[in-house]
Amino acid sequence: MGLCGFADLFAQQNTDASGGNAYGTGGSASFSIGQVDYITASDSSGNTTQGLQQSYEILIIKGIEEIDINLTLYPNPAADFVVLSVQNTNIQNMTYLLYDMQGKLIENKKLNSNQTSISMADLANDIYFIKVLDNDSELKVFKIIKNK
């Protein structure tokens, strides 16, 4: 007398936005972007969850004009000072904020010139951040290494 077994097979049915295959020394994996379904398969080696993707949201803001501002900060790494250079814009409402690695605000000053020298001489050797604002809107954040 023979035994006959039946198994149910379930396939994912979803439309993916994109995807592909990744290969490396440890094996390969197929991936998809936009898929929010998943299935868990079990065998003697354990459980494998396949196809799980976190959902994402793309936000498009209309009505914002493209800003052509040239912001540079030099030298980096710095010793005694850095120079914040602003080109192609009016600096009347611009400020900079200097933060340490812990997020503590060290300095908050209004820009008075297109070339602003920021003193680093009294600061410890560490990493700092300078955030440049125009009317309280963030334009750019610079990471500075102070090492002398």
Ramachandran region of residue 147, left (φ > 0), alpha (ψ -120 to 50) or beta? alpha
**Burial (CB count <10 Å: 0-12, 13-18, 19+), residue 124:** exposed
Q: 84: number of CA atoms within 13 Å, CB side? A: 28
Spell out the domain ranges in the chain. 12-59, 70-146
Q: Which two tokens stand for residue 78?
A: 């710095």
Entry pTM:
0.55
| Tens of each residue's pLDDT in the chain, 148 residues | 555 555 555 554 555 555 667 777 777 766 555 555 556 667 776 666 555 444 444 454 544 455 567 888 999 899 999 999 998 888 899 999 999 999 999 999 999 899 999 999 999 999 999 999 998 888 889 999 998 7
Q: Which residue, chain included where needed, has tokens 């080696």?
A: 45
CATH code matching the domain that covers 70-146, chosen among 1.10.287.3510, 3.20.20.140, 2.60.40.10, 2.40.50.70: 2.60.40.10
